[in-house]
Amino acid sequence: MPPTNLRKYRGNFIASSLDEQNACTRRQFIKTSAATIAASTLASCGWRLAEVKSNPQIQSSLDLLYIYTWAGYTDQDLLDRFYDETGIKVVADVFDSNESMLARVQAGGGGAYSIIYPSDYMVQKMAAQNLLTELDHSLIIGLDDLFSQFKNPIYDPGNRYSIPISWGTTGLVYNSKLLTIAPTDWDYIWENRDLFWRRMTLVNDVREVIGCALRKLGYSYNSTNEEHIKQAYEELLVLRPAIASFTTDSWRSQILVEDLLIAMCYSSDAAEIKPENADLEYVTPRSGSSLWMDTLVIPKNAPNPDGAYRWINFMLQPDIAAEIVERLSFATASTLAYEILPEELKEDPTLFPPKSVLEKCESIAPVGEYEEIYAQYWTKLRSG
């Protein structure tokens, strides 16, 4: 989509909106305060950003860091703190989809960035295209504190190119006051499509939408069987007339005023909006859904790799990671950050689903030549 060229300047933070949908996504901040750990405690754990081990082979300007991130992953308080601890100012451009980010990087527009925030499957794709720098783990503090499932992820074995920063699931948010029977699985929206007529939305994401139909049929989110993908498309055609729109963010205001009854969304968005209406509930479908992970990577030819490592270490600080859970409503991959969260957040199944739910979920993976097939059916579905 064409850029809006809208730029916002605040202190050390420059946020560039590349798409009109960027204003509110699953990565948007909420206005809540976060618990912090005393600086002395952090120092005892080894976090002194100004003293992070530096590789003399990657010296570069340390006064400016360009990052390419999802909307809402940074705010002024976060960037001010980073500046206070490192003396580095941050310039942040934002994107609204992995595909638009990749397109810009491939076109040469990503050469200015030292940190990019791709999701799991996109890390694998970017690494295969030789777009990423192999990380020097000796320069990173906090890797040992990650939960075990994030230390050797299938999309990036050994965390060779990426560091997990947040994760969640995709599911359904609904108004429990208006629905007498709560949803438990994807087939619920098909069975009740007449009730939800034009009062239901799906996310604006090809792999998520076709993926949920694949799971409904008992197939993998990452199917490379063309017949399975076709069947999923045909299932979605049945549902299409009842769908009000394909949107990743505008469902929020609509469901709050009860224009919508149910919406497909990301768990972080559901966790963020639920406090605004006590009747809203979120469910991860029992047959399985996507388990997404957003990461930090350093692109090839990053202009400030030293600053990039400092940003990674900053984001892995336990108090910063815990603050992100509270302010962004993302689950953290850090065991130390999890330990200092309030009990109500630790026990929130929207943020931290039980193991029985997670065992049914899949990370979205690249599907090679079948991406074109997914895209063709997506175009047909959206234009119908």
| Architecture of the domain whose range is 168-291+361-383 | 3-Layer(aba) Sandwich (3.40)
Neighbours of 283 (CB within 10 A): 23
What are the angstrom distances between the C-alpha of 40 and each of 43, 46, 47, 327? Answer: 5, 10, 10, 23
**pLDDT tens series, the chain, 384 aa:** 332 222 222 223 333 333 333 333 333 333 333 333 333 334 434 444 444 444 434 444 568 999 999 877 888 888 999 999 999 999 999 887 888 899 999 998 888 999 999 999 899 999 999 999 999 999 999 999 999 989 989 899 999 999 999 999 999 999 999 998 999 999 999 999 999 999 999 998 999 999 999 999 999 999 999 999 999 999 999 999 999 999 988 899 999 999 999 999 999 889 989 999 999 999 999 999 999 999 999 999 999 999 999 999 999 999 999 998 988 888 999 999 999 999 999 999 999 999 899 999 999 888 989 999 999 999 999 987
List, in sequence order, every beta strand (DSSP E) within 1-150: 6-10, 13-17, 64-70, 89-95, 115-116
Q: Which tokens belong to 194?
A: 């007449």
Residue 293's Cβ-side half-sphere holds a number of Cα atoms within 13 Å equal to: 30
Q: What is the pLDDT of residue 27?
A: 38
Q: What is the pLDDT of residue 18?
A: 37
What are the angstrom distances between the C-alpha of 67 and each of 89, 90, 230? Answer: 11, 7, 38
Q: What is the pLDDT of residue 114?
A: 97
Contact by Cβ (8 Å): 300, 133: yes
Contacts of 191 (CB under 8 A, 6+ apart): none
Neighbours of 275 (CB within 10 A): 11
Q: What is the pLDDT of residue 111?
A: 85
Q: What is the pLDDT of residue 115?
A: 98
Q: What is the pLDDT of residue 61?
A: 59
What are the angstrom distances between the C-alpha of 41 and each of 19, 108, 257, 284, 319? Answer: 40, 42, 44, 36, 10
Neighbours of 158 (CB within 10 A): 10
Dist. CA 98–CA 189, nearest whole Å: 27
Q: Which helix (H) or strand (E) holds 167?
A: strand 162-175
Helix-strand-coil split of the chain, %, nearest 5:
40, 20, 40
> 6-166+294-351 has which fold?
D-Maltodextrin-Binding Protein; domain 2 (3.40.190)
Q: What is the pLDDT of residue 6?
A: 25
Confirm whether 6-166+294-351 and 168-291+361-383 share one CATH topology.
yes
Q: What is the pLDDT of residue 249?
A: 83
Query: Number of helices (H) and strands (E), helices first, in the chain?
Result: 15, 11
For the chain, domain boundaries = 6-166+294-351, 168-291+361-383
Q: What are the residues facing 143 on neighbouring strands?
A: none
